[in-house]
A and B are shown apart, each in its own frame.
Chain A
Amino acid sequence: MKEEIIIAGFGGQGVLSMGKILAYSGVMQDMEVSWMPAYGPEMRGGTANVTVILSEDRISSPILHEYDTAIILNQQSMDKFENDVKPGGTLIYDGNGITRHPERTDINIYRVDATDEAARMHAVKTFNMIVLGGYLEVKPIVKMENVVAGLKKSLPERHHHLIPMNEKAITRGGEVIKEVSLVK
């Protein structure tokens, strides 16, 4: 089993930390993982993206040109990464601020309106966990218990009281994600 993921959006959306939690969940599940950010000035207000790989075998390149799954959280990232999803792969996006929706018919497309949902839950900061929950609903590659363990590992102890709220957001993400059918 190997899953190659790009998570892309704006700096500040929690793109990198979502990737980190996913990677840590993989560690908890005894998988090989890599987390490679596009670091630098891009992080500061512009676009941010991170490549996360979870695999049962040793990971070769942490840098990829095509992905099993693209999680896309703004229009720029849609323009940049839609075509890099492998045929038969998965694209998950938040419709908020998207002016051109995905058009490919050879991949599976899902929409998780996490921005709206986070606002509805009065928990804007859990946005990225709603997205993560949506992803895990579609691709349950890590068990929830390992995600919680991953959260614990990647959050400093003083933030551990926020874990139940994040768990709730992950669950909610699983509920609100829906398939967008272009082919079927």
Chain B
Amino acid sequence: MRELKLMKGNEAIAEAAIRAGVDGYFGYPITPQSEVMETLMAEQPWKTTGMVVLQAESEIASINMVYGGAGCGKRVMTSSSSPGMSLMQEGITYLAGAELPCVVVNVVRGGPGLGTIQPAQSDYFQTVKGGGHGDYKLITLAPASVQEMADFVEDAFDLAFKYRNPVMILSDGVIGQMMEKVELKEFKPRWTMEHIEENYPWATTGKKKDRAKNIITSVQLEASVQEAFNHKLQAKYKAVEENEVLFEEVMCDDAEYLIVAYGSSARICQKSVEIAREKGIKVGMLRPITLYPFPTQPIQKYAEKVKGMLSVEMSAGQMVEDVRLAVNGKVPVEHFGRFGGSVHSPGEVVEALEQKLIGG
């Protein structure tokens, strides 16, 4: 039986993780995402599904515990918010370098520095352009509702294991803190060791006599070996880009202008589209659901149809760069957004649309 609940985005992540049969969660408290671990600790899944939940001594330890668990072929995750996510960047590049599947949730708040605890979308660059060192990519899902917070947990694990790559759920304080109706999925059992050993033969589950030892590592002392490994990674990313792009279109059919927005900003902009349409402005919205891989081609197509695009994000202008790359100069692309913890209202977006694109 599916179950209907009213819950915060952060709580939905935790509930979904238990129900998806996740093996472990390792985290460190930070606003506005502490409800993830608080919910897990209250639910005590170690008594029911056997899921391990541990409050680590830091975000650095958390992400490295995730590395350890992922190396065993276990489905493990962590969550944090922006400053904590900066601390995790080392671990994330190691996870990418060791080709380990895991799920990382960032409930973004305003920065830079300690910043504010209010919502923001200013970790886009950090997430999709590689917050850590080296040529790696983080598959990134951007939920725009509490329902998607719940659903994306399992989706993220599926992608992570399909590509042996860390997957980010890039949320923000709005989606993390707001409550909506959620349909929770049925409980799924955790994977057995036999399942892991059969399907993920790279996992360090103990060297059996009939196989060579497994080594989880990201170090290659020979440059040529490292280069070859990087080519392999790039081929993987190409497959991700070809197969995993997700996006949603809202009232785009007859659109003369296109808003591009993700996550909570897309929710706000959906209302802006309604308001603008009432005023007779033909505007549609494209919501990237995957930020990496970015929906470059769909946006490219709209560049042939619309008069201009507005990238609306709670940042000083980050995703707008990817929109501009997709559009490649064909139509004007502007940015609008409140940032540093302030959230734009639907009305402000309509004003920006009128001033920056239609009036201009």
Query: A and B: direct contact (Cβ < 8 Å)?
Result: yes
A residues bordering B, Cβ < 8 Å? 20, 23-24, 27, 32-37, 39-41, 59-66, 153-154
In chain B, positions 193-240 with a C-beta closer than 8 Å to chain A are none
B348 contacts the other chain (CB 8 A): yes
Main secondary structure of the interface of A (DSSP, over half): mixed
Q: A64-B346, A65-B348 are in contact. Are A35 and B179 (CB under 8 A)?
A: yes
Partner of B6, one of A33, A37, A40, A60: A33
Contact present for A40 and B179 (CB under 8 Å) = no
Closest 3 pairs (CB-CB, A-B): A65-B345, A61-B271, A60-B270
CB B353 to nearest CB in A, in angstroms, measures: 15
Q: In the complex, which residues of chain A have a beta carbon less than 8 angstroms from the beta carbon of B32?
A: 39-40
Q: In the complex, which residues of chain A have a beta carbon less than 8 angstroms from the beta carbon of B347?
A: 65-66
Contact present for A39 and B173 (CB under 8 Å) = yes
**A37–B4 Cα gap in the complex (Å)?**
21
Q: In the complex, which residues of chain B have a beta carbon less than 8 angstroms from the beta carbon of A20?
A: 6, 179
Contact present for B271 and A41 (CB under 8 Å) = no
CB B9 to nearest CB in A, in angstroms, measures: 10
Partner of B271, one of A36, A37, A60: A60
In chain B, positions 306-360 with a C-beta closer than 8 Å to chain A are 343, 345-348
Contact present for B180 and A33 (CB under 8 Å) = yes
Q: A41-B117, A60-B271, A61-B268 are in contact. Are A35 and B180 (CB under 8 A)?
A: yes
Residue of A nearest to B8 (CB): A35
Q: Which of A24, A36, A66 has the most CB of B within 10 A?
A: A36
Q: In the complex, which residues of chain B have a beta carbon less than 8 angstroms from the beta carbon of A65?
A: 345-348
B274 contacts the other chain (CB 8 A): yes
B residues bordering A, Cβ < 8 Å? 4, 6, 31-32, 116-118, 173-174, 177-181, 264, 267-272, 274, 343, 345-348
**A130–B268 Cα gap in the complex (Å)?**
32
Q: In the complex, which residues of chain B have a beta carbon less than 8 angstroms from the beta carbon of A27?
A: 4, 6, 181
Residue of A nearest to B285 (CB): A60
Partner of A39, one of B6, B177, B180, B264: B177
Residue of B nearest to A19 (CB): B179
Q: A23-B6, A39-B32 are in contact. Are A63 and B174 (CB under 8 A)?
A: yes
Query: Could you list some 8 contacts between A and B, CB below 8 A?
Result: A32-B181, A33-B6, A36-B177, A41-B117, A60-B346, A61-B271, A62-B174, A62-B180
CB B334 to nearest CB in A, in angstroms, measures: 20
**A59–B347 Cα gap in the complex (Å)?**
16
Contact present for B6 and A64 (CB under 8 Å) = no
Contact present for B274 and A60 (CB under 8 Å) = yes
Residue of B nearest to A20 (CB): B179
Partner of B345, one of A35, A37, A63: A63
CB A23 to nearest CB in B, in angstroms, measures: 6
**A23–B179 Cα gap in the complex (Å)?**
9
Q: In the complex, which residues of chain A have a beta carbon less than 8 angstroms from the beta carbon of B274?
A: 60
Residue of B nearest to A52 (CB): B179
Contact present for A35 and B346 (CB under 8 Å) = no
Contact present for A40 and B181 (CB under 8 Å) = no
Residue of A nearest to B146 (CB): A34
CB B2 to nearest CB in A, in angstroms, measures: 14
**A50–B346 Cα gap in the complex (Å)?**
17
**A93–B345 Cα gap in the complex (Å)?**
24
Q: In the complex, which residues of chain B have a beta carbon less than 8 angstroms from the beta carbon of A63?
A: 174, 264, 267-268, 343, 345-346
**A35–B7 Cα gap in the complex (Å)?**
9
**A154–B179 Cα gap in the complex (Å)?**
12
Q: In the complex, which residues of chain A have a beta carbon less than 8 angstroms from the beta carbon of B31?
A: 40
Contact present for B345 and A33 (CB under 8 Å) = no
Partner of B177, one of A24, A37, A64: A37
Residue of B nearest to A51 (CB): B178
CB A29 to nearest CB in B, in angstroms, measures: 11
Contact present for A62 and B267 (CB under 8 Å) = yes
Q: In the complex, which residues of chain B have a beta carbon less than 8 angstroms from the beta carbon of A64?
A: 271, 345-346
Contact present for B179 and A60 (CB under 8 Å) = no
Q: In the complex, which residues of chain B have a beta carbon less than 8 angstroms from the beta carbon of A32?
A: 181
Q: In the complex, which residues of chain A have a beta carbon less than 8 angstroms from the beta carbon of B4?
A: 27
Contact present for A34 and B118 (CB under 8 Å) = no
Residue of B nearest to A153 (CB): B6
**A124–B181 Cα gap in the complex (Å)?**
30
**A153–B272 Cα gap in the complex (Å)?**
33
**A67–B274 Cα gap in the complex (Å)?**
16
Contact present for B117 and A36 (CB under 8 Å) = no
**A153–B268 Cα gap in the complex (Å)?**
28
CB B175 to nearest CB in A, in angstroms, measures: 9
Q: A23-B6, A24-B6, A65-B347 are in contact. Are A36 and B178 (CB under 8 A)?
A: yes
Q: In the complex, which residues of chain B have a beta carbon less than 8 angstroms from the beta carbon of A40?
A: 31-32, 116-118
